[in-house]
Amino acid sequence: MTTISAAQRAAQGEGRMRINVTPYLFLLVPLAVYFVWIIFPTLFSIYLSFTNWDGISPIPAPNALSLDNYNRLFTDRDFGMSFGNNVKWMIVFLTVPTTVGLGLAMIFNTDIRGARWFKISFYAPLILSFVVIGTIWAWIYEPRAGLLNSIIVGISELLASIFPFVTPLERGPGWLADRNLALWSIMGAAVWRQCGYVMILYLAGLKNLDPSLIEAARVDGANGWQLFRRVIFPLLGPITTVVIVVSVIDSLRAFDLVQVMTRGGPGGASNVLANFMYIEAFNNYSFGYGASIAVVLLGLSLFIVVPYLYRTVKTELEY
């Protein structure tokens, strides 16, 4: 039997108590950056939402905090309009890009000729910034010489030359100047970009499906629709969850396209919460009210993200 001296036992105990700080040093810089750029601004915005700070005067002390900004939200017509526009944006994002993206993924998952180039063409808008997309689509929607109105006027002239009772149009609609069309026109540009993203997500999910399950369904006599409805789509459930969460978050943080294409106009008809927050804070110098709008946006985002993260973490722990 080997006898361990007291000095050796003390050395072993000291070694067990020694903590390797090197991994924590690697985390120190990113955590500091994350705190400076994410955590602190979030907490500071929550604090400002209870003040009437104008961005110039000294920041109010804690004893000056109030709920005036949140009371104002419930009676503000512009806030209600912006919130409603975000809801419309969310509904469109949850239906059109999801349906079109899934359909494109099903088509391009087969061995059709030129599938790779079609995938690239549909995915290409995703690499463009929202500012570039907004500028391009503003040109397309230009009332006099824009691509869309030129096509509409050209078709009307062609029909007028064939049918005498048809009156040709002199000009097309003012897409971004019409209160009833501005929001939908901006969402059209956003959907154009989003469809490719959803397509890539579903393509990745389709590539990971178990081929044996699909072959078994075919052997059992399932037709194409039954195969999709009862086998493929249920197996794509995790991808669909990701698509829904991403679509909701993207619809809530819509800002760039609105700012570039209409700046919330005409008359606030195309405003969304993020753009309305920007206008109140940086145009009207009402930083406290703008911060309260930001807090509402944060709450809506957390309402969607937290259950998803909880479900994801729970699933990973089970495995």
Q: What is the pLDDT of residue 62?
A: 85
CA 316 to CA 319: how far, in whole Å? Answer: 5
Indicate if 153 and 137 belong to the same structural domain.
Answer: no
Contacts of 92 (CB under 8 A, 6+ apart): 187, 191, 251
CA 243 to CA 101: how far, in whole Å? Answer: 10
pLDDT confidence bin for 291, thresholds 50/70/90? very high
Give the side-chain half-sphere CA count within 13 A for 292: 21
Q: What is the pLDDT of residue 219?
A: 87
The total number of structural domains that make up the chain: 2
pLDDT digits (tens, 9 = 90+) for 3-30: 556 555 555 555 555 667 777 888 888 8
Determine contact, residues 160/138, Cβ cutoff 8 Å.
no
Q: What are phi and psi of 164, to 5 degrees?
A: -65, -25
Indicate if 166 and 190 belong to the same structural domain.
Answer: no
Indicate if 155 and 208 belong to the same structural domain.
Answer: no
Indicate if 152 and 281 belong to the same structural domain.
Answer: no
Which amino acid would we find at residue 99? Answer: T
Residues above pLDDT 90, as percent of the chain = 53
> What is the domain range of residue 155?
146-175
Indicate if 164 and 215 belong to the same structural domain.
Answer: no
Lowest mean pLDDT among 9-23, 40-54, 123-137, 285-299: 9-23
Question: Does 64 reside within a domain?
Answer: yes
Indicate if 132 and 263 belong to the same structural domain.
Answer: yes
Q: What is the CATH number of the domain that holds 88?
A: 1.10.3720.10
